[in-house]
Amino acid sequence: MLRGFGKPVLLLWPRKAPFFPFAHAQRWAELLPDAHLVEVPDAYTFVSEDQPEFTAEAIAAFVTAAPRPAR
């Protein structure tokens, strides 16, 4: 089911999250055909709180690079 998901997906994932191992992010990236995995440095579970600027920049870059759907 996930392999058929045709939209771009941004996975912002910390290496040090105690409850969400980085291996889970890698698996999501394998299953989603247009997934973009970005490791968030010096962050734990709440990446947007631990690294707000990094998170915002990564989201902005992802949204800017994503193709816009035709209307």
- pLDDT tens-place string over residues 39-70: 999 999 999 999 999 999 999 999 999 676 65
Number of domains present in the structure of the chain: 1
List all residues 6 or more positions away from 10 whose beta carbon is below 8 Å from its beta carbon. 35, 36, 38, 58, 59, 62
Residue 4: band (very low, low, confident or very high) from pLDDT cuts 50, 70, 90: confident
In a domain, 35, yes or no: yes
In a domain, 32, yes or no: yes
In a domain, 30, yes or no: yes
> Would you give the end-to-end CA distance of the chain in angstroms?
26
59 three-state secondary structure: helix
For residue 40, give its domain range: 13-65
Contact 36, 30 (CB under 8 A): no
In a domain, 57, yes or no: yes
